[in-house]
Structure 1
Amino acid sequence: LDQIGPMTQNVEDAAILYDIISGHDEKDSTSAHKNDKVCDKLNSNRKLKIAVLPKHIQNANEDVKKAYDLAIAALKNAGHEIVERELMDAKFDISAYYITATAEATTNLARYDGIRYGNRVVGKDLNDTFVQTRSQGFGDEVKRRILLGNFVLSSGYYEAYYVKAQKTRHLIKDQYSKIFQEVDLILSPVAPTTANKFGELSTPMEMYLSDLYTISVNLAGLPAISIPVAKSRDNMPIGLQLIANAYEEQTLFDGALSLEKEIGYNN
């Protein structure tokens, strides 16, 4: 699930950067044998069929909903066909994601024991060195994910949690595949609210719920791009995302460039 998220000034810059970082890497067994460049073929005049999710956005606040309607009107004005589709309740995405993500965190961070990788805090013996290194080297959220990951992967709970999360992940991927049989792109919010102030989120659960609209994209292994489209009543930027089918980055960038030009948003 670990993905990079480049930030650029505009869609064209994102396409340029995509062309630089995409392609097969011989030292990365997870990279695809594809090297399709998109920047030189950008076409904002291409007419696409785009799905919107009227029920799926009900958890968003009013500012985000208004921005969503604004983007839909802009896409229609640009000549794109808009159709309504639905995804399953996003609460299942949250559950599947955080079980999977914590399990990954546990296994990937096990190497940082002060012996092989990372910083070392010397203790009174080997075990104490191990404990002190991880206690002082990891922040609260990382520790929380390691603990949860060990729990869901432990004997007696693996089937009840991790296996069910993977089955749910398969269902999420299947529902996207079904929608993409009929459409080119999906329009979705990036978050249910605008950005929070520092320290405003008082519990980890509040932080997790802010990922409501983005994590299913990672679970399904799809490309997506976030585009600023409006500002809230308190002058905070609101972004929406376009989601494409796997390996359809050209379609993604074409649709994003069209929306960017039609919206004319200046941040």
Structure 2
Amino acid sequence: MKLGYSLCPNDTFIFYALIHGKVPAPEPVEEVLEDVETLNRWAFEGRLELTKISYAAYGHLREGYVALRAGGALGRGVGPLVVARGPRPLEGARIAHPGRYTTAFLLLSLLLGEGAFEPVELRYDRIMPAVAAGEVDAGLIIHESRFTYPEHGLEKLLDLGEWWEGETGLPLPLGAILARRDLGAARIREVNEAVRASLAYAYAHPDEPMGYVRRYADELSDAVTRAHIRTYVNDFSLDVGAEGEAAVRELFARAEARGLVPPNPNPLFCC
């Protein structure tokens, strides 16, 4: 069974034990590490049985996939940022973004409105250099860029997490782990428990996964790597919970009302 997830420290920390056979699983799991927008696009093809996904992409994929309760990224103080070389209006600006199916892009579209800015799609790790070089007016940044943008001489113009929390009072849903519905309910439940056990193992042995984490985050300092894990791995990663479910429903309701994702009656979470 193949599981796709990003090279980011939160994902490699969560899945270390599962990939390395430290916890029981219904069958061996093979890692497929890719940029999250690549995984989003692959999910439209149903390429992987299990995959990390942006919640924005999941809004389009509810027919073929269901979200696990464990392994996702939700929280407070985790929002994507809009950065620039200095203060400037965003209306009409050329804004680099990490992908049309990322939750970051959906949030910016909900706030500013489609057509209010000129989107320029770049891989997430190319955005800050492009802003710093003046190739675009501003950048929508995610992942570890939240901690490193000042090193590029950039200033924060907007925190989309702060906007979301102020609007809704709910945590921000960023990403989920999806299972193809054709795996069947029983198998999906087993996978969900294996993912939860993998994170529990990492919490119990926090230094053990770090070699694996650093293998894919070798350009990040140890301090940034650990800050990334502390920020994006939390109680919602063990179980989305009632508050997390409410946040996902609110995100989809707002996106559906604006015609940004289609409605779908299927259950959002597996078990």
Bigger share in strand: 2
- Bigger radius of gyration among the two: 1
TM-score, normalisation: structure 2: 0.29
TM-score, normalisation: structure 1: 0.29
